[in-house]
């Protein structure tokens, strides 16, 4: 139980385009999901807390207009990287809260 999936697992896009990443809790409902960013050989940095039915809470320094988060249902949160640039290339990991956090397998974004 407590499985979290992410789609896609990897994506390559051109600079200036937008990319949407989905995070789903497969066997439980999650009112709260989290989005993290991980640069190579570094730790996970929390980007935002996604709350079902309300606006996401962004960490300091994270641009909310660039990283759009939507948590429209209890099993799905999406992160859209708008007008992506090469510096947005990273490994994005989501987690869903069910007493503790359960992590997705991550999405590798490469912006050319």
Between CA 76 and CA 69 the distance in angstroms is 11
Contact track, another protein, 23-62, x by CB under 8 A: ---------x-x------xxxxxx--x-x-----x-----
Number of residues that bind another protein (CB under 8 A): 24
Instruction: Please say which residue, 5 or 82, places its beta carbon nearer to another protein.
Output: 5
Buried-exposed string 25-39: b where 16+ CB fall within 10 A, e elsewhere: beebebebbbbbbee
Instruction: Please say which residue, 87 or 100, places its beta carbon nearer to another protein.
Output: 100
Helix, strand or coil, per DSSP, at residue 88: helix
- Candidate segments 11-19, 64-72, 74-82, 95-103, binder of another protein by CB under 8 A: 95-103
Between CA 24 and CA 94 the distance in angstroms is 9
Taking every pair of Cα atoms in the chain, the longest distance, rounded to a whole number of angstroms, is: 38
Q: Where on the chain is the footprint of another protein (CB under 8 A)?
A: 4, 6, 32, 34, 41-46, 49, 51, 57, 91, 93, 95, 97, 100-101, 103-106, 108
């Amino acid at each position: 139980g407590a499985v979290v999936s992410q789609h896609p697992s990897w994506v390559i896009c051109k600079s200036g385009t937008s990319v949407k990443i989905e995070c789903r809790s497969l066997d439980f409902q999650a009112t709260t999901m989290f989005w993290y960013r991980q640069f190579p050989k570094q730790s996970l940095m929390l980007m935002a807390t996604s709350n079902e039915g309300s606006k996401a809470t962004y960490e300091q320094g994270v641009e909310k207009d660039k990283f759009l988060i939507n948590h429209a249902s209890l099993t799905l949160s999406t992160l859209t990287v708008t007008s992506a640039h090469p510096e947005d290339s990273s490994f994005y990991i989501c987690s869903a809260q069910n007493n503790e956090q359960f992590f997705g397998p991550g999405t590798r974004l490469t912006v050319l």
